[in-house]
Amino acid sequence: MRRNRIVVAMALVVIMAFFLGCSDDKNPVQTQQYGTISGTVKLVGAWPATGNVQVSVWANWPPTTAPAGASAIFTSGQNVQTYKIEGLNKGAYPVVTVGWRDPANPANAKVLGIYWANSDSVGVADGRGITLSGVQALPVNVADANMTWTNINIKANLDFAK
C-alpha cells in the first residue's frame, strides 16, 4: 500500500512539472518579424510592347534608392492582377506604386498608378509621376499592430508607359 502511494505521488509530481514547464511565461509568443502587403491592380489602357510592370513599395518619396520591396512582374494582357510583397521590415512606407521600366532606358521608369484614397481612379496626373493636386498617396505603416496589409488596391493606366 505504501508503495502505491509513492508511485501516485511521483506521478503527480511528473504531471505538475509537465504543466508548469508549458507555462506561457517560459514560452513567449513569437511576434511576426516581417510584413506583407497585398491587393489587386486594375490595369487600363494598352500594354507596352516591352518592359516590365509591377508593384513597388517605397521607404521614401520621391525615391532616392531602390524600392523596399516589389511584386512579381505582371503577365502582359491580363487587366486585373493580384500581387503580394513579402519580407518588408517594420516601418512607414509613404507610397505604393504600380510602375513600368523600359528595358532600353531603365533609369526612366514611370509611375502608372499609386495606392490612394480613391482606388477606382488612377492616382497619377501623367506618366511623369504623382500629381500634387487632388491625389494624396496613402501610407502603409508596417508595425506590430498591423504586419499584414490586404486590399491595397490600385488602378493603373498602362498608356502612361508611352
Q: pLDDT for 49-62, tens place per residue? A: 999 999 999 998 87
Can you tell me the distance from the alpha carbon of 82 to that of 22, in angstroms, rounded to the nearest whole number? 41
Domain ranges of the chain: 35-161
| pLDDT tens track for 74-123 | 999 999 999 999 999 999 998 899 999 989 988 888 889 888 876 667 66
pLDDT at position 63: 79
- Given a contact cutoff of 8 angstroms between Cβ atoms, the answer to whether 74 and 53 are in contact is yes
Tell me which fold the domain 35-161 belongs to: Immunoglobulin-like (2.60.40)
Per-residue confidence (pLDDT) for residue 127, from 0 to 100: 39
Residue 138, pLDDT score? 83
Rounded Cα–Cα distance for residues 18 and 146 (Å): 34
Q: What is the pLDDT of residue 139?
A: 87
The pLDDT of residue 23 is above 60: no
Judge whether 80 and 40 are in contact, CB under 8 Å: yes
Give yes or no for a contact between 143 and 90, defined as CB atoms under 8 angstroms apart. yes
Would you say how long the chain is, in residues? 162
